[in-house]
C-alpha cells in the first residue's frame, strides 16, 4: 500500500512539474514577445539613429532577439532567444521562435546584454531562414547593417546581402557583426505558444494562424514597415 501511494505521489509530482514547466515556458515566451514589441517601438522612435527607412521597408523578414547576451573571458560568446516573422501575400506571418547561439575567438571581458534585430533582405536569405537551422557567414550573406534615416548610396546591401544585423545597447542602434552564429528553431517556445510542434517553414510561410499572445508583435512589425514606407515615399517626392 505504501509503495503504491509512493508511486502515485511521484507521478503527481511529475505531472505538476510538467505543468509548471509548461506554464513557465509560456510566460517566458510571452514576455519575450512583449520585449520584442518594445524593441520595434524603439526603432521607430529614433529614425535618425535607427534602421534606415528603405532597409526596413524592403525587408522580407524581421527577427528580434531581446537581451542577447554577449561576453566571456578569452572566448567570446553569444546566446539569445527571439522571434521572427516574414511577409506573405496576406501580410506578416505568425511568429516563429528562434534561438541564436555561437562563439568567436577574441579577448572579451565582461557580459553585455544587447537587443538584436536581423532583417532578411532577399529570397536566398528567406530560404536559409526557412531551413530551421543555418550558420551566419560574412561572404555576402550577412553584414552589419547601415544606420541612419537613409542608407548610404555606396552600400551594396540591396544586391548581395541576405541578412543585415543590428544591435541596440543603451538606446543606440548600431550595425552588428554576427559571423559564425547559428540561428535555429526554438522548439520549446514554439510548443509553449502553439500547444504543439509547428514546422518553421509552415509558420513563416503563413500557413499557421497568429495566436492572440503574438498579435501585438505582428502588429508592431507591420506598423514599423508601414511607417518606413510612408517616410521613404515622402523623401522620394521631395
- What does the pLDDT look like over 166-213, one tens digit per residue? 888 766 667 776 777 888 899 999 999 999 999 999 999 999 999 999
- Give the model's pLDDT for residue 7: 39
**Least confident among 71-75, 100-104, 112-116:** 71-75
- What does the pLDDT look like over 13-22, one tens digit per residue? 444 344 444 5
* Residues 208, 213: Cα–Cα separation, whole Å: 14
Helices 2-45 and 187-194 cross at an angle (nearest 10°) of 100
Residue whose cell numbers read 528553431? 185
Model confidence, pTM: 0.79
Extract the C-alpha cell encoding 160.
548581395
DSSP string, 125-177: HHHHHHTSEEE--TTTTEEEPP-SSS--TT--TTTT-SEEEEEEETTEEEE--
Torsions phi, psi of 40, nearest 5? -65, -40
All structural domains of the chain with their residue ranges:
27-237
Amino acid at each position: 500500500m505504501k509503495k503504491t501511494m509512493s508511486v502515485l505521489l511521484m507521478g503527481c509530482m511529475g505531472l505538476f512539474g510538467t505543468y509548471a514547466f509548461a506554464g513557465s515556458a509560456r510566460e517566458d515566451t510571452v514576455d519575450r514577445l512583449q520585449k520584442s514589441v518594445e524593441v520595434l517601438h524603439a526603432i521607430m522612435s529614433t529614425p535618425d539613429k535607427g534602421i534606415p527607412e528603405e532597409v526596413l521597408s524592403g525587408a522580407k523578414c524581421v527577427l528580434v532577439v531581446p537581451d542577447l547576451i554577449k561576453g566571456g573571458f578569452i572566448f567570446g560568446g553569444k546566446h539569445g532567444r527571439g522571434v521572427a516573422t516574414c511577409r506573405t501575400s496576406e501580410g506578416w506571418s505568425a511568429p516563429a521562435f528562434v534561438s541564436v547561439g555561437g562563439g568567436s575567438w577574441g579577448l572579451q571581458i565582461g557580459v553585455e546584454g544587447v537587443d538584436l534585430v536581423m532583417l532578411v533582405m532577399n529570397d536566398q536569405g528567406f530560404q536559409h531562414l526557412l531551413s530551421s537551422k543555418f550558420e551566419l557567414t560574412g561572404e555576402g550573406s550577412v553584414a552589419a547593417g547601415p544606420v541612419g534615416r537613409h542608407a548610404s548610396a555606396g552600400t551594396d546591401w540591396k544586391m548581395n546581402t541576405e541578412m543585415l544585423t543590428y544591435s541596440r545597447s543603451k538606446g543606440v542602434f548600431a550595425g552588428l557583426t554576427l559571423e559564425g552564429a547559428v540561428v535555429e528553431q526554438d522548439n520549446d517556445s514554439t510548443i509553449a505558444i502553439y500547444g504543439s510542434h509547428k514546422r518553421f517553414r509552415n509558420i513563416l510561410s503563413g500557413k499557421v494562424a497568429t495566436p492572440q499572445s503574438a498579435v501585438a508583435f505582428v502588429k508592431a512589425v507591420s506598423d514599423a514597415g508601414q511607417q518606413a514606407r510612408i517616410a521613404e515615399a515622402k523623401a522620394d517626392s521631395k
